[in-house]
């Protein structure tokens, strides 16, 4: 699979390095903002490796590069404003897109879904990338319906620079069959990501904790999403990836 990565921040760098090191897929190029200081650089240089002959191209130039390099999927770790531009360009070129960015407003997410639904290349919205957290969401949805007398609360812990409340925490709350599930945010140290869901009655308690130890967990999820969307059209979410995985295991 031929991949382009948009956004070489913390997670984007881990993903790019994983693609290069694993050798299972090909990293064709990385994408940056037109005004970025890394525009035109070699990806290997940006990753503090060695020159790889893999360029960093600007958003303005990406359409031609997608075509010239026959890219299958773009994985986007940029920001919501850039994502909407990337989505339009991928749709034009019928290239699959994995959207890993977060904090979309309702209207922005609606626009993204509409673009995905009409795309010949396929778009998967995957702000909650790790495999484990998706299984947590499936589980809490089920127990919230099976245990109507239980109250629920979510605690999320991340590095001190990260803004509360995470999109993932909101998505977990959305899967719980309750009104106004309380969410608490803790910002200390260098947490990569912890989400803790507590379900309690007067007599017993269930606590489910998911923790990402490194951003490799995000990279693994992003690649799984890319492998899922590469031969599909329309709009998809990580729940579709998990259900396809469950079907393969069960069958």
Which residues are known catalytic residues? 158, 162
Torsion of Cα atoms, 100 then 120 then 58 then 66, to 10°: 120
C-alpha span between 127 and 110 (Å, rounded) = 15
DSSP per-residue string spanning 63-88 = HHHHHHTT--EEEE-S-HHHHHHHHH
C-alpha span between 250 and 175 (Å, rounded) = 23
Q: Are 90 and 96 in contact (CB under 8 A)?
A: yes
Residue with tokens 């673009």, as numbered in its chain? 115
SS3 (DSSP) at 213: coil
C-alpha span between 76 and 112 (Å, rounded) = 13
| CB contact set of 23 (below 8 Å; sequence gap of 6+) | none
Q: Are 46 and 56 in contact (CB under 8 A)?
A: yes
């Amino acid at each position: 699979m031929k991949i382009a990565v948009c956004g070489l921040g913390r997670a984007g760098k881990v993903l790019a390095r994983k693609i290069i090191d694993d050798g299972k897929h090909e990293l064709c190029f990385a994408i940056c903002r037109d005004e970025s200081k890394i525009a035109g650089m070699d990806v290997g240089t940006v990753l503090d490796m060695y020159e790889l002959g893999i360029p960093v191209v600007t958003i303005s130039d990406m359409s031609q590069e997608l075509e010239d390099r026959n890219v299958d999927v773009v994985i986007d770790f940029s920001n919501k404003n850039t994502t909407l531009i990337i989505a339009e360009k991928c749709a034009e070129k019928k290239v699959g897109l994995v959207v890993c960015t977060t904090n979309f407003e309702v209207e922005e997410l609606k626009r993204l879904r509409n673009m995905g639904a009409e795309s010949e290349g396929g778009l998967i919205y995957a702000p909650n990338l790790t495999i484990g957290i998706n299984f947590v969401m499936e589980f809490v949805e089920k127990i919230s319906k099976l245990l109507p007398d239980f109250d629920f609360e979510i605690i999320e812990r991340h590095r001190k620079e990260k803004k509360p409340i995470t999109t993932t925490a909101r998505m977990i709350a959305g899967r719980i069959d309750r009104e106004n599930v309380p969410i608490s945010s803790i910002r200390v140290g260098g947490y990569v990501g912890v989400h803790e869901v507590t379900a309690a009655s007067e007599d017993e308690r269930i606590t489910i904790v998911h923790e990402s130890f490194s951003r490799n967990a995000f990279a693994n999820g992003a690649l799984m999403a890319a492998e899922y969307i590469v031969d599909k059209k329309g709009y998809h979410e990580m729940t579709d990836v998990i259900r396809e995985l469950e079907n393969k295991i069960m069958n």
